[in-house]
Amino acid sequence: MSEKKLGYNIRIKAEKVDHEVFKEYVEIAKRADKAGLYFLAFPEFFGRFDRNRIHIIPYMTAIATNTEHALVGPDVLQIPFLHPKHIADIGASLDIITNGRFVLGIGTGWQPAEFEKFGLSFKDRGKITDESLDIIIKLWTQPSIAEYNGKFFRFKEVCSPPCIQKPHPPIWVGGASDAALRRTAQYGNEWAPTWWLEGCSGLSSLPAGTWSVEERLDKLRDYSRKFGKEVVVGRAPRTPKEVGYNQRIHVNINPDKEKALEDAQRFSGVTRKAWGPAEFKMRDSVFGNAEEIIEKLEEIYNSGAYLITLYPLSADSRTQWERIEREVLPSL
């Protein structure tokens, strides 16, 4: 029987962010952890113009010290914006703080404007990510690096704290392009894309109708074999030679589908005109009552994902969590 695990995105996005708002989200995290959720996700918005966000590194640390069971990790950390030594230190430290519950979710970034803002190369982001992952894994698995001479990074005599998890914390790779699949097979432990509707979300380089979840998994299998690994579906990987598959999906749970859509639009700051028709054509999203959400979850589990992370598109995260806790969790 396939595993059916659930994750939850507990990002703070509110009209204002203060200590009381922070405490509310800590309480949601505690309830999610107690309810048995497998993963708590923390999205990064490094280049976004929004003062009402708490940086994910201290936020993750605070949540980690207030939970006991769930995995915690960025979903995803945009690797090109940080030095790999910095990432390795953060990851190893959080692995120690969580007693082995840290997961490094990574992505390359996808918005040219964010790279332009900081004077970084958008076209080199994939190569920078690959070199960074090579360094991070070396720092996690070796006592030290005497010298590193790459195309983007050069340094001597560095080390990071020892990780709890061996050989190192899991690396989950976002995105669904060929490059993302190859990167998963080469450096990662799990492929973690966002659930998509055909023709959008992460596969803009491929013509609509030429791919599917099954096709992407077959491509991942091809890459994995080249690196001596095997793709497993329906369960978490158990060895470093296995590559797992999990998913995330955006939701707004409300018995009134129209109100769910309006709430999601307000949260995302988009208009109906920009988003298109309401009949489930919004990218990566499902809105409506709990039965509709559960039906979509079953579809994703049937695709081979063992873990689905829910991203509530609502500023009222407490109400969304309560509906998930009361109406969705009992069905799994």
User: Is position 309 within any domain?
Assistant: no
User: Is position 135 within any domain?
Assistant: yes
- Spatial contact of 181 and 189, defined as CB atoms under 8 Å apart: no
The Cα 100–Cα 142 span in angstroms is: 18
The Cα 22–Cα 53 span in angstroms is: 10
Cis-peptide, bond into residue 76, ω within 30° of zero: yes
| Domain that residue 159 falls in | 5-240
User: Is position 15 within any domain?
Assistant: yes
Q: What does pTM read for this prediction?
A: 0.92
Over residues 154-170, the pLDDT tens digits come to: 999 999 999 999 999 99
User: Is position 122 within any domain?
Assistant: yes
Q: What are the E-state strand segments in 1-94?
A: 5-9, 39-42, 71-74, 77-78
For residue 271, give the amino acid letter: T
pLDDT at 92: 98
The domain tally of the chain equals 1
User: Is position 48 within any domain?
Assistant: yes
Question: Are β-strands 145-149 and 154-158 bridged in parallel, bridged antiparallel, or unpaired?
Answer: antiparallel
Over residues 50-80, the pLDDT tens digits come to: 777 889 999 999 999 999 999 999 998 999 9
Closest CA to 314 of 267, 275, 278: 267
CB-facing half-sphere around the CA of 48: CA atoms within 13 A: 14
pLDDT at 294: 96
User: Is position 248 within any domain?
Assistant: no
For residue 139, give the amino acid letter: L
CB contact set of 90 (below 8 Å; sequence gap of 6+): 57
Over residues 92-102, the pLDDT tens digits come to: 999 999 999 99
User: Is position 328 within any domain?
Assistant: no
User: Is position 316 within any domain?
Assistant: no
